[in-house]
Structure 1
Amino acid sequence: MTAAAPVLRVEGLAKSYGGVRALDGVSFEVQAGELLALIGPNGAGKSTCFNVVNGQIRPDAGTVRLAGRDITGRAPRAIARLGVGRTFQIAAVFVSLTVLANVETAILASRGRSFGLWRPQDGQARDEALALLEQTGLAARAEHAAAGLAYGDVKRLELAIALAGSPRLLLMDEPTAGMGAHERLALIGLVQRLAAARGLAVLFTEHSMDVVFGHADRVLVLARGRVIADGSAEAVRADPQVRAVYLGRSGTEGRT
């Protein structure tokens, strides 16, 4: 049987700022249902790589393909319409709306409609929003104001919003930043289950090594704009070069 094509294929990405090479020939793939963690020390090129994939930065060279389609250099909104969802390090939700309305708005926006044009008899968006809230553990808070949510629930709401357009690829920038140990492991465990159930490819950056090594299917390590390791959590943790530039002798993060 022919292997399934990757959801995301990045080939030869390069980006320079003056004399500094932020990305230098970066290549990797993410398959459906897979969680790929992108890690590395400060200045490694993680944010640049992430933002090139999302369309916020245009690379000097290289390509980004989504399910075989070249999306290199497209605007973030166009990329989102093609099937890419994103969450941010600082969660972004509409605090003036209810939890349910936040997700309904995202569903309608993914279809080129606005919440102001929505009518109650158009119940499909509401049903889909309720289903997403059920999947993300927020169904009981559907009618609550988003402004009153605890931080962990805000991150779950942001995840539901990112899934509103039924993306093929989910980009998560520091998804557990600011969360306690129990909350962050619960959130990434939820993402892992949703990815498996939906066949969703997930690329995420993360500084919490318990999240990375406990839940990522693969780990990609950047240093000075280059890939220095790409493999299972166990293989990457044991890699001498990774331990030298990023991990301490105990195999935990040496710097953030």
Structure 2
Amino acid sequence: MTAPPVLSVGNLAKAYGGVHALDGVSFDVHAGELLALIGPNGAGKSTCFNVVNGQIRPDAGTVRLEGRDITGLPPRAIARLGVGRTFQIAAVFGSLTVLANVETALLASRGASFGLWRPQDGQARGEALDLLAQTGLAALADRPATGLAYGDVKRLELAIAIAGSPRLLLMDEPTAGMGTHERLALIGLVRRLAAARSLAVLFTEHSMDVVFGHATRVIVLARGRVIADGSVEEIRADPQVRAVYLGRSAATGERGS
């Protein structure tokens, strides 16, 4: 028997004047799955992503998290229900150490204040160190975040996002600004964490080497509609997708438009 989806999006619609940014968009994301949401500029990716995250209220349709209707809830409420998020421009506390960044995220996920935390408590520190080990940052635990290389900042942001043990992780252009080696290493790490934690991942991405190399499923949007939903192989071979979006990037792994 197939497990119910972690995220279920049903018939989402959103219009701005006469422009339909979303027009009946539906899809599910299951535990352990990396679902890539791609499409040309103006396809509706950002609108769909922000509706799921609660930043935009849809005109119609539903967003369900493990069966619970979260449509229109604010981002903070959605985060408390088990949704983590990373951003195109990484957001970390530069004045804190790498370890303190993750400790702060752990405490926030429990409704605690960093100002009330005491080092001797130990629990948050131990959990934070474990998260840093999982994301390859253990050796940098005591370094200020402001001095990190960009790839390490992105890994720290990932550690912060999963600190609250979310069931769903939303990643907006997770490899933006990264070189080929760095972006493939980061998305490979995300895939391993998703499998180990049974974490559902929904991400937008322009780099086709990332999508085709690591996504377990791909959805393609065009003009607010889903035009394809399938495996990497199915998306590569879909003539409509090649015509409206992939072009030569399907064969070369270059960035789409």
Smaller-chain TM-score range? over 0.9
Report the Cα offset of residue 123 of structure 1.
1.2
Correspondence 1:157-176 to 2 at 5 A: 157-176=156-175
Q: 2:109 matched to 1:110?
A: yes
Corresponding residue number in structure 2 for 1:242:
241
Corresponding residue number in structure 2 for 1:220:
219
Report the Cα offset of residue 254 of structure 1.
7.3
**Equivalent AA in structure 1 for residue 77 of structure 2:** A
Corresponding residue number in structure 2 for 1:79:
78
CA RMSD of aligned residues (A): 1.0
Q: 2:43 matched to 1:44?
A: yes
CA contact under 8 A between 1:246 and 1:253: conserved in structure 2?
no
Report the Cα offset of residue 3 of structure 1.
1.4
Q: 2:98 matched to 1:99?
A: yes
> What is the distance in 1 between the residues matched to 2:44 and 2:248?
23
Correspondence 1:1-256 to 2 at 5 A: 2-249=1-248, 251=250, 252=253, 255-256=256-257
Identity rate of aligned residues, in percent? 85
CA contact under 8 A between 2:206 and 2:255: conserved in structure 1?
no
> What is the distance in 2 between the residues matched to 1:112 and 1:143?
24
**Equivalent AA in structure 1 for residue 140 of structure 2:** R
TM-score by length of structure 1 reads: 0.98
Q: SS of 2:23's equivalent?
A: strand
Q: SS of 2:51's equivalent?
A: helix
Q: SS of 1:133's equivalent?
A: helix
CA contact under 8 A between 1:33 and 1:198: conserved in structure 2?
yes
Alignment: residue pair count: 255
* Change in CA separation of 1:254 and 1:214 when aligned onto 2, cut-off 3 Å: closer
* Change in CA separation of 1:253 and 1:229 when aligned onto 2, cut-off 3 Å: farther
Where in structure 1 do 4 or more consecutive aligned residues deviate above 4 Å?
252-255
Report the Cα offset of residue 253 of structure 1.
5.6
**Equivalent AA in structure 1 for residue 100 of structure 2:** A
* Change in CA separation of 1:37 and 1:206 when aligned onto 2, cut-off 3 Å: same
> What is the distance in 2 between the residues matched to 1:220 and 1:155?
24
Report the Cα offset of residue 121 of structure 1.
2.1
Q: SS of 1:112's equivalent?
A: coil
> What is the distance in 1 between the residues matched to 2:236 and 2:216?
13
The gaps in structure 1 that reach 5 residues or longer are none
Report the Cα offset of residue 250 of structure 1.
5.7
The gaps in structure 2 that reach 5 residues or longer are none
TM-score by length of structure 2 reads: 0.98
The CA deviation string for residues 50-70 of structure 1, in whole angstroms up to 9 with x for no partner, is 000000000000000001111
CA contact under 8 A between 1:44 and 1:225: conserved in structure 2?
yes
> What is the distance in 1 between the residues matched to 2:204 and 2:6?
18
Q: SS of 2:218's equivalent?
A: strand
> What is the distance in 2 between the residues matched to 1:179 and 1:11?
33
> What is the distance in 1 between the residues matched to 2:99 and 2:216?
32
Q: SS of 1:32's equivalent?
A: coil
